[in-house]
Amino acid sequence: MLISQDDRLSFEKSKSGRRAVTLPSARFSGESPTKAVSSGLLRQTSIGFPELSESDIVRHFINLSRKNFSVDTHFYPLGSCTMKYNPKVNEWAARNEKFTALHPLQEESTAQGMMEILWELEGGLKEISGMDRFTLQPAAGAHGELTGMMLVRAYHASRGETKRTKVLVPDSSHGTNPASAALFGFHVVEIKSDSRGRVDLEDLKQHLDDHVACLMLTNPNTLGLFEKNILEITKLVHQHGGLLYYDGANLNPLLGIARPGDMGFDIIHINLHKTFSTPHGGGGPGAGPVGVKKHLIPFLPGPLVEKAGGSYRWADAGPQSIGRVKLFHGNIGVMVRAYVYLKMLGKEGLRKVSEAAILNANYMKECLKDTFTVATQGPCMHEFVLSIKSLGAQGVHAGDVGKRLLDFGFHAPTVHFPLVVPEALMIEPTETESRETLDLFIEAMKAIADEAVSDPEKVKTAPHTLPVRRPNDVLAARKPILSYRDQLREKMLLAEAAA
Ligand SMILES: *Cc1c(COP(=O)(O)O)cnc(C)c1O
């Protein structure tokens, strides 16, 4: 494999001496800056950054971005991720200098506006979820889960119940649930799903004893199903002294309709970067606020905003707190976005979000149910899972269907998850898509189902229209190429090896 002229054209644009900026000459009254730094610390050779004009840089990045799929350019039905359209007004607010120029350590009296936003955001999350207090610190859903596990242990320890080391997790759960519990040293026990895809009550009962610390549950679960027995489940776990943890990463189907707090959950995390419209993917930043019922408030990380009279102050955590889980107050920009989103929609608007998300998912499911096998029976919530196993296609896997969808101009659904469904495609249309978009996607899915039987090679070798086709997923994770220089070096090594 040689370095093609194309790669050189697209990546090697540096020309010695080319500049995109003109820096003002340094104005120092005393010593020159190079004298002020000891010679041992001064760089002796050029760092070798590429040298480019402004137009080279702009074209390079704009062209790269156009090779990408995003919510702003494509329908993105990635199940369990809630890739909904993010209103641009959120970005405008989050970039406002009145927020970005604040320092987390500045005097309370000079940050009252931001503290009001955090207070009101917390108030909104409490109302939506039915919990009593939230810490806004956690930086993501999985971080919220870890925080939740710390709360669970602190709560049981405060009651002298240190033998509670078991965390129950349904087999359909999101992978972060067992991972977070295990990371914090809990013993993870899997609970089976029944034939209809919900928690198997008999299996749950078998595992309930005085070693159970908590049950972690997503409702609706990753199959897009609401746990109809939720009140019985939470009652059973409570009767055995365990706590109930709600994975609220995907609150999109519940807004204004049902509240985890009313279902009997003690702890919840919410992904602001899914339900509350912060752009995500590509690694963040996100926010995974954790809410608790009254009996767990003393264990929350601090400080928390308190309102007294007409003003706000930071209240330090009490002696039972698990301590900070993040520097300062968390990812504030994400919170500003969520706050604007809540205020713009209001109570009624939020409920409409969920109703439309559920309607869109059910519409698609009904249109696709004769072509694919729907993994569950009856209506779904905000997402649904198809299996392609029944297509009878030779050697075509769910991942191939996902790849082929790219040729049709759609981002792939989540594939091969949840693990309880063979050859799964997990589809979440979200509320922000039009009927026309949903119909185009349905057409593409049906066309691919036909191809999978008539011309399986075409599906197995897709995508055919994109510059990057089938990267090695394992190498991409284990040996990521993070700069253009790495990429060139990699190609030269490969070229040498081939020579
Ligand atoms: C996305 C997701 C998580 C993890 O959230 P991150 O912010 O990616 O850490 C956990 N549970 C469910 C159900 C999710 O969809």
Ligand 1, residue 271: give the atom nearest the CA. 7
Could you give the CA distance from residue 277 to residue 251 in angstroms, rounded to a whole number? Answer: 11
Residue 435 CA to chain centroid, in angstroms? 25
288 Cα to the center of ligand 1, angstroms: 9
| DSSP code for 461 | T
Plot region of 203 (φ>0 → left; ψ -120 to 50 → alpha; else → beta): alpha
Pocket lining: 176 vs ligand 1, CB cutoff 6 Å:
yes
Candidate from 80, 269, 426, 428 with most ligand 1 atoms within 8 A of CB, to mutate: 80
The CA distance from 327 to 324, in Å, is 7
Q: Is the CB of 247 under 6 A from ligand 1?
A: yes
Backbone φ and ψ of 390, nearest 5°: -80, -5
Determine whether the shortest distance from the Cβ of 350 to ligand 1 is under 6 A.
no
What single letter denotes the amino acid at residue 202? E
Contacts of 236 (CB under 8 A, 6+ apart): 201, 204, 205, 208
Distance CA 440, CA 433 (A): 11
Q: Nearest-CA neighbor of 227 among 262, 269, 266, 199?
A: 199
**Confidence (pLDDT) at 5:** 45
List of the chain residues with pLDDT < 50: 1-9
**Residue showing tokens 């198809």:** 386
Residue-wise pLDDT tens digits, 261-278: 999 999 999 999 999 989
Domain locations in the chain as residue ranges: 89-345
Q: Per-residue pLDDT tens for 104-135?
A: 999 999 999 999 999 999 999 999 999 999 99
Best substitution site from 173, 271, 381 to test ligand 1's pocket, by max atoms within 8 Å of Cβ? 271
Residue 431, judged by CB atoms within 10 A of its CB (0-12, 13-18, 19+), counts as buried
Closest residue CA from atom 15 of ligand 1: 80
Ligand 1 binding pocket includes 286 (Cβ within 6 Å): yes
Is the bond into 463 cis (omega within 30 degrees of 0)? yes
Question: Which architecture does CATH list for 89-345?
Answer: 3-Layer(aba) Sandwich (3.40)
Rounded Cα distance, 107 and 436, in Å: 52
